[in-house]
Amino acid sequence: MRDETISDFLQRLADRVPTPGGGASAALHAAQAAALLGMVARYSTGEKYAGHAGAIRAGTAAALNDAGTPPKLAVVVATADESSAGRHVAVVGRSTVVGKPVAHLLLDKNATVTICHSRTRDLAAVTSAADIVVTAVGRPGLPTAEHIGPGAIVVDVGTNPTEDGGLVGDVDAVSVAGKAGALTPVPGGVGPVTTALLLRHTVRAASR
């Protein structure tokens, strides 16, 4: 397989798709391709995070509809229902990709949010007091059962490859499963929601 960027691949596919008729139809096809390629460029380079960090922090609804927000939205979809208002959410991880944006989006859902990180003192004491724990630290086995309160909702956003070619999350699922009220699996948890949202945003971007 030749070396090819995502944008190059999509452009090659777009060039091969026949456009019925001409004139306005061809212009629409070109506009759709341009919108999709522009979205992919922003998504691939990280430009989306710089462009929407302020909007997310300000609680701007438009930020939720942008194609660059699937990873954060996936967590919100999994946790921010009507009952999240007023509940304590501990976000473990402060990355600009997941941790910080998720914290701001959950604040916009009226949750009470605590952001934890590598320098948080007595992490277990903080997270075990939370109703919902969102973890995205890139460390397999963290959190464990001692970090989770009885009946808490645990959303594992971590994706860590194993030596045998598998994939595990951050959470020690064996110990946490018997204590948490709900636990998203890895793989098969937040990932498919992210994919579905990305496809939805792609369709919206292409139709503009």
- Please write the tens of the pLDDT for every residue from 13-49: 556 555 555 544 455 445 555 555 555 555 444 445 4
pTM (predicted TM-score): 0.70
Categorize the per-residue pLDDT at 8 as very low, low, confident or very high, splitting at 50, 70 and 90.
Answer: low
Domain boundaries, given as residue ranges, for the chain: 69-191
Greater pLDDT, 18 or 171 = 171
DSSP codes joined into one string, 23-48: THHHHHHHHHHHHHHHHHHHHHHTHH
Average pLDDT, the chain: 75
**Architecture of the domain spanning 69-191:** 3-Layer(aba) Sandwich (3.40)
- Rounded to whole angstroms, the Cα distance separating 29 from 61 reads 28
Ramachandran class of 46: left when φ > 0, alpha when ψ lies in -120 to 50, beta otherwise: left
Q: Residue 127's pLDDT is what?
A: 97
Query: SS3 helix, strand, coil % of the chain, rounded to 5?
Result: 50, 10, 40
Q: How far is CA 133 from the centre of its chain?
A: 15
